[in-house]
A and B are shown apart, each in its own frame.
Chain A
Amino acid sequence: QSALTQPASVSGSPGQSITISCTGTSSDVGGYNYVSWYQQHPGKAPKVMIYDVTDRPSGVSNRFSGSKSGNTASLTISGLQAEDEADYYCSSFTTSNTRIFGTGTKVTVL
């Protein structure tokens, strides 16, 4: 199964908002509300930022929010900060009970 499709890069200035898309199919993103998002800084393990499409784990800034429409999920980062510069990956449950990750998006803070 191919990876979910994400833009390779997204950039924004401090204080701005950016949105990262994650496109799959009805067999994964569109079929379940089990989409999660991960932040990964260089050389570090990923960290969950959003799960179940919209839920934020305790300790994660409310500047991060998630949504979904059809086969596309989105992660929005508002009030962009220098520390948000990292790689971001989406993930979804699939009809075959496996999991699938997105291609990854590099966020640059200008």
Chain B
Amino acid sequence: QVQLVDSGGGVVQPGRSLRLSCAASGFIFSSYGMHWVRQAPGKGLEWVAVLWYDGSTKYYADSVKGRFTISRDNSKNTLYLQMNSLRAEDTAVYYCAREYSNNCFDPWGQGTLVTVSS
């Protein structure tokens, strides 16, 4: 079945880096755009970034632009989020999601928790 598995979260100090991964299975990964979406504890959903199916085009939310980099390895069916210069306000559960259709996120990964704290 179509599945996304998020990993790589953990506790990290402010200013440090972390890389998240999203392993895809059950569909042709190289045919779909992919997103990262985050949710701070007790808060709503916040869109983070999108990467086109072929890796050619990417867009970011203003809150992470210049600090986060979205990438993919279509040979490994894996999406990544490199997070640098982390701040306390980046603390959240991070979900990857496939763009099934225009602005339709389906499915979602199970999420991975990133905690930025000293």
Contacts and interface: CB of A to CB of B under 8 A. Distances in A.
B45 A48 contact: no
Given A34-B102, A47-B106, A101-B37, 13 more contacts: A3-B44, A3-B46, A32-B102, A45-B108, A48-B100, A48-B104, A51-B100, A51-B104, A91-B45, A91-B47, A96-B59, A99-B47, A101-B44
Interface in B33-58: 35, 37, 44-47, 50
Contacts, number: 74
Given A45-B108, A45-B110, A89 B45 contact: yes
Contacts of B50: 97-99
A15 interface: no
Interface of B: 35, 37, 44-47, 50, 59-62, 95, 100-111
A103 B95 CA distance: 17
Contacts of A45: 95, 107-111
A93 interface: yes
Nearest to A34: B103
B106 A48 contact: yes
Contacts of A92: 103
B103 A99 contact: yes
Interface in A17-69: 32, 34-36, 38, 40, 45-48, 51-52, 57
The size bracket of the interface on A is 20 to 34
Interface of A: 1, 3, 32, 34-36, 38, 40, 45-48, 51-52, 57, 89, 91-93, 96-104
Interface core residue of B102, B104, B105, B110 (most chain A CB under 10 Å): B104
Given A1-B62, A45-B111, A97-B59, A89 B104 contact: no
21 contacts: A1-B62, A32-B102, A32-B103, A36-B103, A36-B104, A38-B105, A45-B95, A45-B110, A46-B105, A48-B104, A51-B100, A51-B101, A57-B106, A91-B47, A96-B59, A98-B59, A99-B35, A99-B47, A99-B103, A101-B46, A104-B44
